[in-house]
Structure 1
Amino acid sequence: MMRFASVTDRLAGLGSDKWAVHMRAREMKHAGAKIIELTIGEPDIPTPTDMMDVAESAMRSGRTGYSNGRGEPAVLAELSKKYTARTGRQINPDNIMCFPGTQTALSLVMLGLAEEGDEIITGDPLYATYDGVVRATGATRVSVPLRPEKGFRMQASDLEKVITPNAKVLLLNTPHNPTGAVLSEKEVAEIGEVCRKHNLWIVSDEVYELLIFDGKFASPLDRPELADRTVAVASISKSHAAPGFRSGWCVGPKEFTQKLLPLSESILFGVQPFIADMTAYALSQPAAAAAIMKANFLHRAQMISERLDGVAGISAKPPQAGMFILVDIRATGLSGQDFAMRLLEEELVAVMPGESFGENLSGYLRLSLSVAEDKIDAACAGIVRLASRLQQRKSA
């Protein structure tokens, strides 16, 4: 019998159940059903033409060869400018590494920080891929409850309660997916102080930095006292409506990126130069796509809240940021999974059950805001109809 590496067992089947509603919706769609799909968070505006023009021009001028393991000079220079301006201290190219998207950045950063016997702390709720990112390292994931009464923002006191001698890394996400919560400067400082006290690394997933509706972006990377223990990851996927181009990065201490470079080079040796040129151009310009999406997503979140909040026992409050809104359907008596599956089968509306994002979202739904208003209107009507039927049966 052939043998396999233990990582294949740790990741076996991981995540498939979380996407059961989405996959069923795609099957029904393929069979001809007119499904309203609010499951996936993907920009619904095209990648800006000026960015694509830069990528095409770069390809035609011969920028299709090999790159280096850290990143192309032009994009490293633009990232250096961005983070130097943001943090108020010098961020050099040797503090930065480029990757094909945030997911790759997260995975390689975690492989460089944690291993079997370590604990990686995340919030709960959490983004659906974090389980895989953690398990791939061999480490154990430990949850900090993100409480609704605190707006799903991580609290330093809750973090401290779960720390053990094996804790190595805090994986922080602000603005947060799926809740849309934005940590304040005070909350980031308090969380950072706990990490300093217990000598934890902080990996900060900041992909929604430019999609904040309410509040101000705060990052542990921007705090001088946390600079030696923080690695931030981000990309142009959301901010510049360019998810398919797979262009991301990490920013952290020089010693860390030097240590990570050989590991990264053993998996991939650089990103595509023509995409790097497009990314450098995008970073040098105002993020026009982000401004458009932010206005659209906020309007749609307010629409959903107006149509659902307080109706048939449903609660739906606009998020602080991001591409999603949470809908609390606990009053119906169903789990998010059961409600979402019935909503799909009975109303042809596909949404993500909260349970896909952790135990603390049991009884919630996550709705994507990257869908046109007419479809959102129809989806809300379907949610109300199902919730009303359930309420009537409970009363009977």
Structure 2
Amino acid sequence: MKTTSITHRLADLGGAKWDLHTAARDRSDRGEDIVEMTIGEPDVALPEPLARAATRAIEAGRTQYSNGRGENGLRDALAESYSARRGRCFERDNVLCFPGTQTALYAVMQGVAETGDEVLVGDPLYATYEGVIRATGADMVPVPLKAEHGFRMQADDIAQRITERTRAILLNTPHNPTGAILRPAELEAIAEIALKHDLWLISDEVYEDLVFEGNSFTSPLTLEQIADRTIAVSSISKSHAAPGMRSGWAIGPRGFMDALLPVSETMLFGNQPFIADVTEEAVRAGSTVADGMRQRFAKRAQYLADRLEAETVLRVHRPEAGMFALVDVSPLGMDCDAFAWALLENAGVAVMPGSSFGAHLQNWVRLALTVEDAAMTKAVDRISEFARSVAVAAQ
């Protein structure tokens, strides 16, 4: 039986990136003592007020069909929140609601690129970005995010990769997996390129509320000169510890949202009203858990870096936001895959090899900061001992 071209375009983008995580989970299920630091999931449960809001909405019968744009109350809440945060006026018609950031990004990409086009995206990148780009028929063009620039995308690196086929630039700030935050001057330079070459600018901002103390976030939505070509996507998954709610949105020019509506309706034919009610409450009230996560993740990142850099030859890229830290394993003479699999086998610690996030993290592994403090201490003990043993064996 034949299948369509999209299945072939996405054939190598499935679960293989998560083979190490799956292997670690299997070992844990068999009773082995494994510290899992592979996936980014909030380290707290869904806040009780949001759980109660979901129950109330279901009991009130909010389980019927919605409309393709999303519930008006949620769209109004988002428009008000973005108007306050971005210093520009947004209205409900600037918003489309989706089941999570992933779905929003998939739909938005369908609206900006198609077969024969190119989309520029930073490498390293979140593992699903290549899939949402390839699904349109477009080609992903990696823009190297270099350690010497703090893994922040540089306008000069973008300019070198623009062709007549380029249609969009996909940003992720704060960034997964590096925790980097684009600076205002860097965004201004990228905006100039988007204007010069008539490109869409798409910004994944799901980690906006997890910015560590001493750092600040700027969205390209604040830039008036590119207001007509900028779309942001986000959700309550990280900020409100609600990844299973699958509630996200896209916000941008009304004309684009109007054009994208039939795509959304074809995909979904509306969202879940009871989840929209929960999300509206979350957006209007703000997060009760984000501040705690920010503090814990920043503290764990510092603990990880201070110990590994004092006790081993490993070096840690200290994140500015988010749920992850990167560790440079090249001083051990190992690439990311060899190190990650050996660490799992010999020390019982599961981390993600950088190869899961593109071609430019071959010397790095990604560690989730979402494990409890006791597990973090255990993991650092084991990583430190493993790294020292490898270094001794290499002498």
Query: TM-score, normalised to structure 2's length?
Result: 0.98
> Is 1:192 aligned to 2:191, yes or no?
yes
Quote the residue 2:26 is aligned against: 27
> 2:361 and 2:11 mapped to 1: Cα distance?
24
> Is 1:389 aligned to 2:379, yes or no?
no
Matches within 5 A, 1:30-69: 30-69=29-68
> 1:215 and 1:223 mapped to 2: Cα distance?
20
Which residue identity lines up with residue 83 of structure 2 in the other structure? T
> 1:6 and 1:286 mapped to 2: Cα distance?
43
> 1:223 and 1:296 mapped to 2: Cα distance?
32
Q: CA deviation at 1:310?
A: 4.3
Q: CA deviation at 1:317?
A: 3.5
> 1:310 and 1:117 mapped to 2: Cα distance?
50
> 1:156 and 1:140 mapped to 2: Cα distance?
20
> 1:87 and 1:290 mapped to 2: Cα distance?
19
Which residue identity lines up with residue 267 of structure 2 in the other structure? I
Asked if 2 retains the 8 angstrom alpha-carbon contact of 1:184 and 1:215, the reply is no
> 2:112 and 2:19 mapped to 1: Cα distance?
32
> Is 1:334 aligned to 2:318, yes or no?
no
Matches within 5 A, 1:69-80: 69-80=68-79
Q: CA deviation at 1:34?
A: 1.6
> 1:221 and 1:198 mapped to 2: Cα distance?
18
Matches within 5 A, 1:71-150: 71-150=70-149
Q: CA deviation at 1:289?
A: 1.0
Which residue identity lines up with residue 159 of structure 1 in the other structure? I
> 1:241 and 1:143 mapped to 2: Cα distance?
30
Residues 210-219 or 101-110, more deviating:
210-219
Asked if 2 retains the 8 angstrom alpha-carbon contact of 1:300 and 1:376, the reply is yes
> 1:330 and 1:375 mapped to 2: Cα distance?
25
Quote the residue 2:311 is aligned against: 311
Q: CA deviation at 1:3?
A: 2.0
> 2:341 and 2:99 mapped to 1: Cα distance?
33
Matches within 5 A, 1:209-220: 209-213=208-212, 214-220=214-220
Q: CA deviation at 1:87?
A: 2.3
> 1:269 and 1:296 mapped to 2: Cα distance?
39
Quote the residue 1:347 is aligned against: 347
Which residue identity lines up with residue 2 of structure 2 in the other structure? R
Asked if 2 retains the 8 angstrom alpha-carbon contact of 1:116 and 1:138, the reply is yes
Quote the residue 1:254 is aligned against: 254
Q: CA deviation at 1:348?
A: 0.8
Deviations, residues 312-334 of structure 1 (Å, cap 9, x unaligned): 21001421000000111111111
Secondary structure, in 3 states, of the residue corresponding to 1:196?
helix
Q: CA deviation at 1:117?
A: 0.4
- Name stretches of at least 5 consecutive residues in structure 1 with no aligned partner: none
Which residue identity lines up with residue 102 of structure 1 in the other structure? T
Asked if 2 retains the 8 angstrom alpha-carbon contact of 1:96 and 1:257, the reply is yes
Which residue identity lines up with residue 144 of structure 1 in the other structure? V
Asked if 2 retains the 8 angstrom alpha-carbon contact of 1:96 and 1:252, the reply is yes
Q: CA deviation at 1:17?
A: 2.6
> Is 1:14 aligned to 2:13, yes or no?
yes
Quote the residue 1:239 is aligned against: 239
Q: Which runs of 4 or more aligned residues in structure 1 lie more than 4 Å from their structure 2 counterparts after TM superposition?
A: none
Quote the residue 2:287 is aligned against: 287
Which residue identity lines up with residue 120 of structure 1 in the other structure? V
> 1:360 and 1:99 mapped to 2: Cα distance?
31
Q: CA deviation at 1:15?
A: 3.6
Asked if 2 retains the 8 angstrom alpha-carbon contact of 1:69 and 1:265, the reply is yes
Secondary structure, in 3 states, of the residue corresponding to 2:208?
coil
The alignment's C-alpha RMSD in Å is 1.0
Secondary structure, in 3 states, of the residue corresponding to 1:137?
coil
> 1:4 and 1:356 mapped to 2: Cα distance?
26
For these two proteins, the number of residue pairs brought into alignment is: 394
Which residue identity lines up with residue 3 of structure 1 in the other structure? K
Q: CA deviation at 1:294?
A: 0.5
Matches within 5 A, 1:151-190: 151-190=150-189
Q: CA deviation at 1:31?
A: 1.7
> 1:242 and 1:189 mapped to 2: Cα distance?
32
Secondary structure, in 3 states, of the residue corresponding to 1:111?
helix
Quote the residue 2:201 is aligned against: 202
Residues 384-393 or 249-258, more deviating:
384-393
Which residue identity lines up with residue 308 of structure 1 in the other structure? L
> 2:31 and 2:77 mapped to 1: Cα distance?
46
Asked if 2 retains the 8 angstrom alpha-carbon contact of 1:121 and 1:170, the reply is yes
Asked if 2 retains the 8 angstrom alpha-carbon contact of 1:15 and 1:128, the reply is no
> 1:357 and 1:310 mapped to 2: Cα distance?
27
> 1:92 and 1:356 mapped to 2: Cα distance?
38
Quote the residue 2:265 is aligned against: 265
Asked if 2 retains the 8 angstrom alpha-carbon contact of 1:69 and 1:268, the reply is yes
Which residue identity lines up with residue 350 of structure 1 in the other structure? A
> 1:169 and 1:132 mapped to 2: Cα distance?
15
Q: CA deviation at 1:390?
A: 1.4
> 1:344 and 1:317 mapped to 2: Cα distance?
21
Asked if 2 retains the 8 angstrom alpha-carbon contact of 1:168 and 1:201, the reply is yes
> 2:247 and 2:334 mapped to 1: Cα distance?
40
